[in-house]
Structure 1
């Protein structure tokens, strides 16, 4: 029998609204058997007849109301491939998920730094909310090449104890300083694999725990498509300290401990 998470659910798009350089889709699906967590994702069918691989999107929030269903928020980059349009309010949308292992939350209150880039910034914001609800202090490091590409900073500033904006080439320096100044006990990363490598490296140098995403989802860049089921092998990561051993984030993640991956081989 298939897992409830692997069952495709046909939902209704109830909102498609602008969010700066992004769009937020809110999709109501039948009530989920288990609540979604930051770091999980969904799969949607290909958006064009000439595409084989599905669309994969980070979940940016989830709300479940008895008798109504579960609403999943998905944040996507505005525009996208030529000729492709996003679903509008009232449209049906088939989704598989929530999939994968989400971020684990500390069992006791700690100080955490969450680093998020691009459309994954909405997931980072959601993770900060969850951390603070559990009594932890959460600082968000939002990464984008220009100011317009930070996701919904008004809500982000309400969700975190502090928000730092930084460009991609300054992440290492900014994160090192923020980790030191906040005395963070855990670092989180959601976004491109290159970002996860940087965050895992800073955590190792600081002697703290890191949880990072091991696969790039939601991007429109050529070569970033993955199947989302762990079958294509495009997201494989080499395990640290083991020769010819690999981790497949689609199936074994997407959230992994930063110290499990040999990031030098990934680079």
Structure 2
């Protein structure tokens, strides 16, 4: 019996095409070896900029889909939100363009060993990795429900595909342009109760992840959250993606989203302390004295 390939690889990828997906861009690459190693929740790091690549850091993207076989070999798909030089450059690539691909990287979503009821929660283009996850969950006999949210209709991703991937789909937009007006946090508690959800998986902005983790905890469900943050190197070297996470021993440590994550247990991330080193964190300096002794 042949063992599945594991660990990331660095390969020269070839662009099959880039197409618009609402406000986003959907990029498909031929990347031999990456698709075969894919697990939902992992990501790729792409070089950007062509001749300017020495001046621009890699860009990291969650893998939307990976197909190990096909007419062109193994392919990997990612979803881009433009607005920075690197992502803008990627969105303009034509078929046949080549770029360096490193992946799959990171810690993936943990899959249940037995059939359970799962609710998947996504925000904007960060919903992309949930669709590969939904496929794996259904293969294991799990019931899948989905909640997708965004600011406006154009910022949603995968609303039509969700109806093929899940038994229940709820869409929310902050401006009410499609689905229910409001945020996912308003509809999630009721859905978890109605479906008797056992596990919540979430991918999106930090506020959405925090809300999903809190709703899961209140319901008595497990939660797994794919943290969305800048990961300039993708390999843990630059230390630019650290966040405070509570370990099994109850101690807070600053861990790297790109290597220890990007998937974390939702109840372990100190969401309100993101961007800081909380007091009592392992290895952090003690707080400075606030004043001298009373006289």
Larger mean Cα displacement after TM superposition, 10-19 or 164-173: 164-173
Quick one: distance in 2 between partners of 1:34 and 1:21? 29
User: 1:262 is matched with which residue: 270, 278, 283?
Assistant: 270
Report whether the alignment pairs 1:75 with 2:79. Answer: yes
Q: Give the CA deviation at 1:246.
A: 2.0
Instruction: List aligned pairs for 1:87-166, cutoff 5 A.
Output: 87-166=93-172
Q: Give the CA deviation at 1:127.
A: 1.6
Report whether the alignment pairs 1:20 with 2:22. Answer: yes
User: 1:247 is matched with which residue: 252, 255, 272?
Assistant: 255
Report whether the alignment pairs 1:208 with 2:212. Answer: no
For the pair shown, the structure with the greater C-alpha radius of gyration is 2
Report whether the alignment pairs 1:60 with 2:68. Answer: no
Q: Give the CA deviation at 1:67.
A: 9.0
Residue 187 of structure 1 aligns to a residue whose secondary structure is strand
Structure 1 residues 30 and 164, CA gap change in structure 2 (3 angstroms): same
Q: Give the CA deviation at 1:110.
A: 1.1
Q: Give the CA deviation at 1:38.
A: 1.5
Q: Give the CA deviation at 1:250.
A: 1.0
User: 1:194 is matched with which residue: 168, 193, 207?
Assistant: 207
What is the CA RMSD across the aligned residues, in angstroms? 2.5
Q: Give the CA deviation at 1:34.
A: 4.4
Structure 1 residues 206 and 258, CA gap change in structure 2 (3 angstroms): same
Residue 163 of structure 2 aligns to a residue whose secondary structure is helix
User: 1:228 is matched with which residue: 231, 234, 239?
Assistant: 234
Aligned length: 257
Uncovered stretches (5+) of structure 2, i.e. residues with no partner: 175-181, 276-295
Quick one: distance in 2 between partners of 1:108 and 1:184? 14
Aligned residue number for residue 220 of structure 1: none
Structure 1 residues 173 and 15, CA gap change in structure 2 (3 angstroms): same
Aligned residue number for residue 219 of structure 1: none
Q: Give the CA deviation at 1:214.
A: 2.7
Is the 2:35–2:68 Cα contact (8 Å) retained in structure 1?
Answer: no
How high is the TM-score relative to the length of structure 1? 0.86
Structure 1 residues 136 and 52, CA gap change in structure 2 (3 angstroms): same
Structure 1 residues 16 and 236, CA gap change in structure 2 (3 angstroms): same
Q: Give the CA deviation at 1:62.
A: 0.6
Higher relative contact order (CA closer than 8 Å, sequence separation 6+):
1
1:187-209 CA-partner distances (Å, limit 9, x unpaired): 00112233222211111111111
Aligned residue number for residue 9 of structure 2: 7
Uncovered stretches (5+) of structure 1, i.e. residues with no partner: 217-223
Is the 1:100–1:251 Cα contact (8 Å) retained in structure 2?
Answer: yes
